[in-house]
Chain A
Amino acid sequence: MPNMQVKKTAMPTQSAEVRARNFDEVTLGYTETDAINEATRCLHCKNRPCVSGCPVAIDIPDFIAEVAVGNFDGAYDVISKASSLPAVCGRVCPQETQCEAKCVRGIKGEPVGIGRLERFVADRHNEKKHEIKKPVPNGHSVAVVGSGPSGLTCAGELARMGYAVTVFEALHTAGGVLVYGIPEFRLPKSIVSLEIENLRALGVKIETNMVIGRVLTVDDLLADGFECVFIGTGAGLPKFMNIPGESCNGVFSANEFLTRVNLMGAYRDGADTPVMHAKHVAVVGGGNVAMDAARCALRLGADDVTIVYRRGEEELPARREEVEHAKEEGVAFRLLTNPVEIIGDEKRAVRAIRCVKMELGEPDASGRRRPVEVKGSEFELPVDCVIMALGTSPNPLIKSTTDGLDTERWGGIVADENGATSRPAVYAGGDAVTGAATVILAMGAGKSAARAIDEYIRNK
């Protein structure tokens, strides 16, 4: 008989007042008792709707069944058949629109906390040291460009098949968006470095400081003896609004702000890299990146942080949990509000942001109701810092230095469902193909590209 508890087993969490001033992880993770209790809420539906909601089709009821009987290693084995980064995905997947959205328990109450259970299983696994056996080399080599979720996954899959894999990372630390973008309090960097250490143990070579397209090109890699190249360079190019005042001091792209804080560790005392400790902050946008930036600003000591978003609460693209956490920590939300100008002082430092109120009109191409300006509703919000979190697009560097690589008009690399591009031996996946999306989709793309690369090399 399943546990008919209506709500999810509560997640132990740092209290909002405390965590709003530190960079430690917000949620502390289930205990064994919590996990078993939550696992017993699963109804084990015959048609397994949750699995259809998972972009990589993890056998969710199967791993939950193992958790319910306390076989956490068994649960890990089930998950790792489909996912390479469960400790990451358990924390950052938008479960409420994926697996948990389909959970039957969600109809009358809260769905099973699938993400929380996934995280528990992965963390349990990572607590112990596991010996990683180096696979038998198959004599073939592949280059992976980018060490974010898609690149890491592709590299891991190929290495397990016996390929000699070299990962080329542009920055000085591997991990891509997992290290420069997602803050410590949401995804501890130790989790990412463990994944990277595991790859190294598999024999994967990781070369940092390698901006492919500048230091070497994709064609150089192929000429240097790599039989295939996988491009997982993500979507790192920031967008701005093209409104007056965006060049004022105190206006940052979320990428810049988060890179300073996360990758460069500017939040730590004595860090060499500066970051503005603003007092009154506006963050423009409503996605996870906007929430991350807002919550970092708060932790750096801001008196007030306001999310400015042109659509409504329902349309906020961020994970529900991040929105809730941000609110609990004291982030203010100005929804249906759009900036029209950033106002600087005589030294060109931000003094205020002028906004206009919006109302929702007819649905647009994305199916969401299009926000329309309310005439005469302009107002000024006094701030000394504006962070633009408007989404990102793929970096054009690879495209502009690789002949014959087809891209979409908006910059995404054209690739089929296996990651094959217009160039033979060149595969791509993740945000570089789809535009900014989720870690799990990128991971899935890295995985299917690895299979396709294997097939390509075998049939050569």
Chain B
Amino acid sequence: MYKIVRKRTLNPTVVEMCVDAPRVARRAEPGQFVILRTDAFGERIPLTVADYDREAGTVTIIFQLVGATTMKLGAMEVGDEIHDFVGPLGRPTETAGLSRVAVVGGGVGCAIAYPVAKKLHGLGVTVHSVVGFRTRDLVILEDEFRSVSDVYKLMSDDGSVGEHGLVTDALRALIESGERYDEVIAIGPLPMMKFVSLLTKEYGIKTVVSMNPIMIDGTGMCGCCRLTVDGKMKFACVDGPDFDGHEVDFDEAMARAAMYRPFEAEARDHMCNLLKTGGAE
């Protein structure tokens, strides 16, 4: 069992939790993920490590309340225990040899982009962060990003905060203004990562994306998280989650992500009702 030691609401649908998990904290690196189950009957869901404290033995996760399991998790409080919490899984984000990087985060993907930006900043890398949200209320981790970024560009779809536009608009403007990057690291919704990758391909800038497909075991056992990368089958859980954005078949990944949507919608509605009426059984 893994105790929740801190909890904070980042925006109306995004929650940050700090979990007591010394063994996960011991080895965790940015880019890696955990798989958790809220209770003994729960499903296994992957969540990327948002931060870790090796000394305190804690791991931070940030998640959006999108499905039944994240809603169940979001309803847990400090002192409650998460039944299973396994990790770190996957390969860490490669940071060696980089000197100028644009980190692009979209929505709750910023939760995963931030630790990468933080690590790069700590290594002395010049970090330009380009983050996008639908609207002002959804902005997360602004202070955190600013503290590790040489340039911080905040974009919103509706213009209610930062600049009006998409992250690709801001990234293109930066590149056009003469900024040069060894690498772009893009983390966010699949369409965002797809369009960032299409943009950087025009300029020939290496681009790494963090894929978060449906998973079960997270150890390479089931193949549920398979993707096509450079025409070859890869498992996000063990070969990734980071891949070369110019080689990922995003359209296929988007179709696969939709596989359980009807089931998920039903489970979410059911969970909404349970939480509204004060809990299960």
Using a CB–CB distance below 8 Å, which chain A residues touch chain B?
170-172, 180, 208-211, 214-216, 236-238, 240, 242, 246-247, 249, 252-253, 255-256, 259-260, 264-265, 271-274, 347-348, 395-397
Residue B78, interface by CB 8 Å: no
- Give per-residue flags for B210-229: 1 if the beta carbon is below 8 A from chain A beta carbons, else 0: 00000011111111101110
- Pick from B35-43, B93-101, B129-137 the stretch touching chain A: B35-43
Task: Return the contact of B222 from the options A208, A211, A215, A255 (Cβ within 8 A).
Answer: A255
A residues in contact with B258, CB < 8 Å: 249, 347
Contact between chains at B89 and A211 (CB < 8 Å): yes
Q: Of the candidates B44, B221, B227, B267, which one forms a contact with A236 in the assembled complex, judged by CB atoms under 8 Å apart?
A: B221
* A259 and B86 contact, CB distance less than 8 A: no
Return chain A residues, CB-CB under 8 Å to B27: 214-216
What residues on B are CB-neighbors of A255 within 8 Å? 221-223
Contacts A246-B233, A247-B252, A274-B260: A237 and B86 contacting too (C-beta < 8 A)?
no
The answer to whether B43 touches A272, judged by C-beta atoms less than 8 angstroms apart, is: yes
Q: Which residue of B lies closest to A392 (CB)?
A: B221
Q: Which residues of A contact B264 (CB under 8 A)?
A: 274
Cβ B37 vs Cβ A172 within 8 A: yes
Contact A395 to B221, CB < 8 A, known contacts A172-B37, A272-B69: yes
The answer to whether B241 has its CB under 8 Å from any CB of chain A is no
Q: B41, A347: Cβ atoms under 8 Å?
A: no
- Which partner residue on chain A sits nearest B67 by CB separation? A272
**Number of residue pairs spanning A and B whose beta carbons lie under 8 angstroms apart:** 110
In the assembled complex, the CB of B238 is this many whole angstroms from the nearest CB of chain A, namely: 7
Contacts A255-B221, A259-B221 hold; do A274 and B263 have CB atoms under 8 A apart? Answer: yes
Decide: A247 and B256 in contact? CB cutoff 8 A: yes
User: Shortest beta-carbon distance, A232 to chain B, in Å?
Assistant: 15
- Residues in B whose Cβ lies below 8 Å from that of A265: 41
In the complex the two chains form, what is the Cα distance from A264 to B228 in whole Å? 26
Q: A242-B233, A247-B226, A274-B263 are in contact. Are A237 and B84 (CB under 8 A)?
A: no
Please count how many residues in chain B sit with their CB below 8 Å of the partner chain's CB atoms: 42
A215, A236, A347: most-surrounded residue (chain B CB, <10 A):
A215
Whether B63 sits at the interface, judged by CB under 8 Å, is no
B24 touching A256, Cβ below 8 Å:
no
Interface pairs (21), CB distance under 8 Å: A209-B85, A211-B219, A214-B89, A215-B24, A216-B23, A236-B221, A238-B221, A249-B256, A252-B223, A252-B224, A253-B223, A256-B216, A259-B217, A259-B221, A260-B216, A264-B44, A271-B43, A272-B68, A395-B220, A396-B220, A397-B220
| Chain A residues positioned under 8 Å from B256 (CB to CB) | 247, 249, 348
Q: B252: which A residues are within 8 A, CB to CB?
A: 247, 348
Contacts of A247 in B (CB 8 A): 226-228, 233, 249, 252, 256
Task: Check: B31 CB closer than 8 A to any chain A CB.
Answer: no
Q: Is the CB of A171 within 8 A of B217?
A: yes
Please give the distance in Å from A261's CB to the nearest CB on chain B.
Answer: 11
A177 CA to B276 CA, complexed, in Å: 39
Which residues of the other chain, A, contact B217 by a CB distance below 8 angstroms?
A: 170-171, 180, 259
In the complex, whether B87 has a CB less than 8 A from a CB of chain A is yes
Q: B44 and A273: CB pair below 8 A?
A: yes
Cross-chain contact B41 with A172 (CB below 8 angstroms): no
Nearest CB on B from A225, distance (A): 16
Name which residue of chain A comes closest to B84, CB basis.
Answer: A172
Which B residues form the contact surface with A (CB < 8 A)? Answer: 23-24, 26-27, 37, 41-44, 68-69, 83-89, 216-224, 226-228, 233, 238, 249, 252, 255-256, 258-260, 263-264, 267
Give Cα distance in the complex from A265 to B267, angstroms: 16
Contacts of A209 in B (CB 8 A): 84-86
- Decide: B88 and A208 in contact? CB cutoff 8 A: no
Q: CA–CA, A345 to B116, complex, Å?
A: 38
Contact indicator A215/B223 (Cβ below 8 Å): no
A272-B89 contact in complex given A255-B222, A259-B222, C-beta closer than 8 Å = no
Q: Cα distance A136–B273 when bound, in Å?
A: 54
When distances are taken between beta carbons in the complex, the residues of chain B under 8 Å from A273 are: 43-44, 216
CB neighbours (8 Å) of B219 from chain A are 170, 211, 214, 236, 395, 397
**List of B residues within 8 angstroms of A171 by Cβ:** 217
Closest 9 CB pairs of A and B: A256-B222, A209-B86, A348-B255, A272-B43, A274-B263, A253-B223, A273-B43, A236-B221, A172-B84
What residue of chain B has the Cβ atom nearest to residue A242's Cβ? B233
Instruction: Tell me how far the C-beta of B236 lies from the nearest C-beta in chain A, rounded to whole angstroms.
Output: 13
Nearest-neighbor residue (CB-CB) of A255 within chain B: B222
Q: Considering the chains assembled together, what is the distance between the CA atoms of A259 and B249 in angstroms?
A: 26
Chain A residues in 8 Å Cβ range of B238: 396-397
Quick check: B37 and A214 within 8 Å, CB to CB?
A: no
- Further 8 A-B residue pairs, CB within 8 A, beyond A171-B217, A249-B259: A211-B87, A215-B86, A215-B88, A216-B23, A247-B252, A274-B263, A274-B267, A347-B255
Residues from chain B with Cβ under 8 Å of A348 in the complex: 252, 255-256
The reply to whether B260 and A170 contact each other, CB–CB distance below 8 Å, is: no
Q: Smallest CB–CB gap between A277 and chain B, Å?
A: 10
A170-B218 Cα distance, complex, nearest whole Å: 9
The reply to whether B86 and A172 form a contact with Cβ atoms under 8 Å apart is yes
Give A170's nearest chain B residue, CB to CB.
B219
Q: Answer whether A264 and B43 are a contact pair too, CB < 8 Å, given A209-B84, A274-B263.
A: yes
Chain B residue contacts of A246, Cβ below 8 A: 233
B87 and A214 contact, CB distance less than 8 A: yes
Contact B42 A272 (CB under 8 A): yes
Name the CB-closest residue of A to B86.
A209
In whole Å, how far is A388's beta carbon from the nearest beta carbon of chain B?
A: 8
- Give the distance in Å from the alpha carbon of A38 to the alpha carbon of B85 in the complex: 49
